[in-house]
Structure 1
């Protein structure tokens, strides 16, 4: 018995030592594995936008892709998926794997307005992790010069006196150019006939030709015609004047603050994307705001930069949804 006890007693320290050594090896292996984990991104990223190739959204997406490529050292492929009032491309990303390799640049149309107006197979806000507002493109209220109207107050007065004389153009039903104008008319207490077009270019063609009398369209599309005297700018839809149109008062200056409806662009990932990936993308997107090349791109489109964190961007989109819900309800455009 004594012999058994002495041998067993001597074996116990060796057993403990073996266990400690095995545990140390396991910890070291885990640490080595963690250190060996590749840093995001390790392969190309796809940036989807829900509009046709060649438009302003496409140009913005390609500019951002170039900026991200420089910072993340991986290709960023721009993929246009137009259609369904911006819901096809937006829905595609909502269903994508939440790994940071499929991102979306989209607007209020895909995230807020169309989901409010009709049933779609995704939630425009809850199915996404929002990262940044990369551009905010205000609209400008313009009229055909032949009307002889040189102020918003005169336009409203004439529209009240003879509503049948006026209709207004937009770049599409339910978009910022449509709802921005409707917000102004609602505040002013006037009604005008809405004439939707498939984009700003055909809308401006008819506005210049006199087929429609007024419209609220984005600055980049209207600026050459304003500078050429072919249309007259009455009000700018932002909280401060545009450096491109310093002589044009803002809606707020004219007593219509709160009716500003702009075209904003966010970068978002599918819901469930890891927080560390969202944070990494946020830092890269914030840093590009100081890049002269990106500033030049936004200036060419009459767009404003916004430095918002992911949580601030989410709050921004939620606030837009609340405002659009109220406006669309008033206009009886909310889906049943």
Structure 2
């Protein structure tokens, strides 16, 4: 008579060891370098945010945190790469509002932004700003709307691409103001800003970061910011809601996501460390320099924000009639 078949005991031991290893994995996380994939070209807001965050994160995690640039296909290439990475917390994505928009813009995406990722935290919100060349006689939103209505040809607004937030903010602004504008897509903020300064386009709805130096030097005039609250970088500039476009609230948020299935303890550890950094005075100062408002919310709050935005932009994409194969 033997009371315990050894196979059963072995599998029980394996189970206990497996559970212990999983717990230790979360406690010991990270035991090697962590990679933060930035799916945008270097030099933009996402890149600046990623570097400000990873510098401090390397210290608090005790492992190098490496920024890996993988731009392309409207920021969806880098997202697809992280979606299929091992869900262990070592490969993360610097996601953005662009990804919530891409869900409706691209007919075929190799991932589902709501299901393929585990949100960690929203790092910051960068307001978009309606800016015109200072050669324009227009000094406020009312004046711009009047100018657009009086113009023989449609006034042109530039964006950093079809189906980007700037494109959708522009179409929403036009439809709410009862005007028609001509949309001119560019390959990014740099060529767009050059043409706005040169007078090739009349206005843009870009993020604050690339235009703030020109607003400060008097080459561009800010008429309004697109978020619900005024920007701490341009406190004197009214919101579009204050300028009469009721409840207008659009901004470019950036946040960190892990692949879906990443252990909850690992997500919690990453969230705790990142929120500490985001709320530090030093990080806040760096954000002010680029016109960003630090956030640092919970994974649940970030998930619900993504959910709401996905629905909101699906409506705007339909209105703007944008589709990319």
TM-score, normalisation: structure 1:
0.87
Structure 2 residue runs of 5 or longer lacking an equivalent are 4-8
CA positional deviation for 1:30: 5.7
Residue aligning to 2:277: 288
1:218 and 1:31 map into 2 onto residues whose CA distance is 47
CA positional deviation for 1:276: 0.8
Alignment partner of 2:194 out of 194, 199, 205: 205
Alignment partner of 2:132 out of 143, 147, 151: 143
Residue 268 of structure 2 corresponds to residue 274 of structure 1: no
CA positional deviation for 1:69: 0.8
Residue aligning to 2:6: none
Residue 173 of structure 2 corresponds to residue 194 of structure 1: no
Residue aligning to 1:102: 91
In structure 2, the CA distance between the partners of 1:33 and 1:274, relative to structure 1 (3 Å rule), is closer
- Give 3-state SS (helix, strand or coil) of 1:217's partner: coil
In structure 2, the CA distance between the partners of 1:215 and 1:54, relative to structure 1 (3 Å rule), is closer
My pick for the range that moved more, 298-307 or 39-48, is 298-307
Residue aligning to 1:40: 29
2:265 and 2:171 map into 1 onto residues whose CA distance is 41
State whether residues 127 and 227 of structure 2, in contact with CA within 8 Å, keep that contact through their aligned partners in structure 1. yes
Structure 1 residue runs of 5 or longer lacking an equivalent are 1-11, 17-21
- Give 3-state SS (helix, strand or coil) of 1:131's partner: strand
Please give the root-mean-square deviation of Cα atoms over the aligned residues, in Å: 2.5
- State how many pairs are aligned: 316
- Give 3-state SS (helix, strand or coil) of 1:240's partner: coil
In structure 2, the CA distance between the partners of 1:304 and 1:33, relative to structure 1 (3 Å rule), is closer
- Give 3-state SS (helix, strand or coil) of 1:248's partner: coil
Task: Tell me which structure has the larger Cα radius of gyration.
Answer: 1
- Give 3-state SS (helix, strand or coil) of 1:232's partner: strand
2:289 and 2:168 map into 1 onto residues whose CA distance is 24
CA positional deviation for 1:214: 0.9
- Give 3-state SS (helix, strand or coil) of 2:256's partner: strand
- Give 3-state SS (helix, strand or coil) of 1:74's partner: coil
- Give 3-state SS (helix, strand or coil) of 1:147's partner: coil
Alignment partner of 1:117 out of 105, 113, 127: 105
Residue 300 of structure 2 corresponds to residue 308 of structure 1: no
In structure 2, the CA distance between the partners of 1:31 and 1:296, relative to structure 1 (3 Å rule), is same
Residue aligning to 2:38: 49
